[in-house]
Structure 1
Amino acid sequence: MILSILEFFQNLPSKYCQKCGEEIEEQHECYGNVCHKCIGLKDMD
């Protein structure tokens, strides 16, 4: 059975920072693999 695109993205696993291991809060389908703290950016909240 083919999943809808929405189901596909909702079912992607959480991403974790490759430097510190914390879960990355941004979208799971993005290309980044290092959290904002580790690359020196302020939180975007």
Structure 2
Amino acid sequence: MIQNILDFFRNLPAKQCVDCGKPIEEQHECYGNKCDHCMGVSDI
């Protein structure tokens, strides 16, 4: 069965930080695998 591509992307699980395991708030151009806290970002 072929799945609608939009449904595929909507159903992907949230990306998790490799250090602490918390969900990462992603942006479309971001390929990082750590959350802002673990990267030491204090103010965006």
Same fold (TM over 0.5): yes
Report the counterpart of residue 21 of structure 1 in structure 2. 21
Structure 2: segments with no counterpart, 5+ residues: none
In terms of fraction of residues, the more strand-rich structure is 1
Counterpart AA for 1:24: I
Counterpart mapping for 1:1-45 below 5 A: 1-26=1-26, 31-42=31-42, 44=44
**In the comparison of the two structures, how many residue pairs are matched?**
42
Runs of 4+ in 1 over 6 A off after TM superposition: none
| CA displacement at 1:31 relative to structure 2 | 2.5
Structure 1: segments with no counterpart, 5+ residues: none
